[in-house]
Amino acid sequence: MYNNFLVIENISKSFGDNKVLENINLNISKSEFFGLLGSSGSGKTTLLRILGGFEKPDTGRVILDGMDITNLEPFDRPLNYMFQSYALFPHLNVFNNLAFGIKENFTKKEIEINVRNISELLSIEHLLNRRIKQLSGGEQQRVALGRCLIKKPKLLLLDEPLAALDKKLRSKTQLELTTLQKKLKITFVFVTHDQEEAMSLSDRMAIMKNGLILECSSPEDIYENPKSLYTANFIGIANIIEIYKKGENFYSDDLGINFKLNKELKNTKTNILLRPEKIKIQSINNLKTSSFNSFSGEILEKSYLGSFTRYEIKIKNMIISVLDQNFNSNSNYNFPKGEKVICSWESESIKVLED
């Protein structure tokens, strides 16, 4: 399925007694935009640094485009690394920062042409004579990106590429980064702790925790069908409910209601995931609760988010989050705090978690 462009094979790494990476295997395609998502201490940055050549793995191999690069020095690898701090050279101006990596192998004229091309691509041609300290965060990010791309790497590694930018600039840069990547067709592997960033940038992403890859798939697949409890909680808002077999159906003690699943279960007891936007919320006057996949509860908290309203609904021992899309401006669709409502969902929306 994947064309073995970048193969990460059985990579393990420890710092002293601290196991940072355990038997990591990944297969990344050419021109893929691949995200490594995890909280701090998950080992994601160490994995990226191993790819960059700044750390040596204890075991395993890294193969890039058919070449084993595991033991190559950073300066011998046909890839580039964009640092979270950008690591631009403060003693050089923008032009010389961009030209830093090509100065040796190119003539003066070629360097100028290359710098001009890359600065036009990133729209920083007006900054070439500036010093690094005279640049804004967004401009620095572009220079850092340009300094890597000018080398035409086979693979670009990005460590938290947008973390240093403010929120508004971040969403703009997010879009630019994806457009750029699709245009240049360079394989991008990036690290982030921000799940929204990972979802919007990645073609595919890997969820990391304690040095392990829990799941690796497209953002849609990971959001809709997470395998583990950790992923379900980590990505988006999750209602996790413990259910067990009771006669024909399943029953939740916390909610005191029946669940009907559209598939058989191996275990008699399991956790299920119910995404908040999959739950339909209706006024209690309109209908009665069904005997399964529905409950009536009281609205505890409500926050208006513009396109959505988020409700926290209390039922028995649990609080369930519901996202209700604001279809029209009719206030009938908005339920006040303290109101009793009926919540219901389709059997297909119930996702069974493996662990």
Please report, as ranges, the residues that interact with other proteins according to CB under 8 A.
Answer: 52-54, 73-75, 77, 80-81, 83, 85, 87-91, 100-101, 104, 131-133, 147-148, 151
- Least gap, CB of 75 to other proteins (angstroms): 5
DSSP symbol at 181: H
How far apart (Å, rounded) are the C-alpha atoms in residues 98 and 151?
A: 9
Look up tokens 């697949």; give the residue: 221
Quote the least distance from Cβ 152 to other proteins, whole Å.
12
Residue 210 C-beta: closest distance to other proteins, Å: 24
Q: Which is nearer to other proteins, 157 or 353 (CB)?
A: 157
Q: Which residue has the tokens 């969820």?
A: 207
Dihedral sign computed on CA atoms, order 102, 108, 110, 115 = positive
Q: Which is nearer to other proteins, 75 or 327 (CB)?
A: 75
Q: Which is nearer to other proteins, 153 or 276 (CB)?
A: 153
* Euclidean distance between CA atoms 36 and 148, whole angstroms: 20
Report in angstroms how near the CB of residue 87 gets to other proteins at its nearest: 4
Nearest distance in Å: CB 88, other proteins = 8
Instruction: Pick between residue 116 and residue 151 the one whose CB is nearest to other proteins.
Output: 151
CA-CA-CA-CA torsion sign (280, 284, 288, 289): positive
CB 227 within 8 A of CB 215: yes
Shortest distance (Å) from residue 84 CB to other proteins: 8
Which residue in 39, 354, 44 sits closest to 228, CA to CA?
354
Polymer length of the chain = 355
Considering the complex, state which of residue 85 and residue 283 has its C-beta at the smaller distance from other proteins: 85
Helix, strand and coil content of the chain, in percent to the nearest 5, comes to: 25, 35, 35
d(CA 319, CA 307): 22
Q: Based on CB atoms, which residue is closest to other proteins, 132 or 232?
A: 132
Pick between residue 87 and residue 113 the one whose CB is nearest to other proteins. Answer: 87
CB atoms within 10 A of CB 301: 12
Q: Please, what is the minimum distance in Å from the beta carbon of residue 105 to other proteins?
A: 8
180 within 8 A of 173, measured Cβ to Cβ: no
Minimum CB distance to other proteins smaller for 133 or for 288: 133
Letter string b/e over residues 2-33, b meaning 16 or more CB atoms within 10 A of that residue's CB: eeebbbbbebebeeeeeebbbebebbbeeebb
The nearest distance, CB 53 to other proteins, in angstroms, is 8
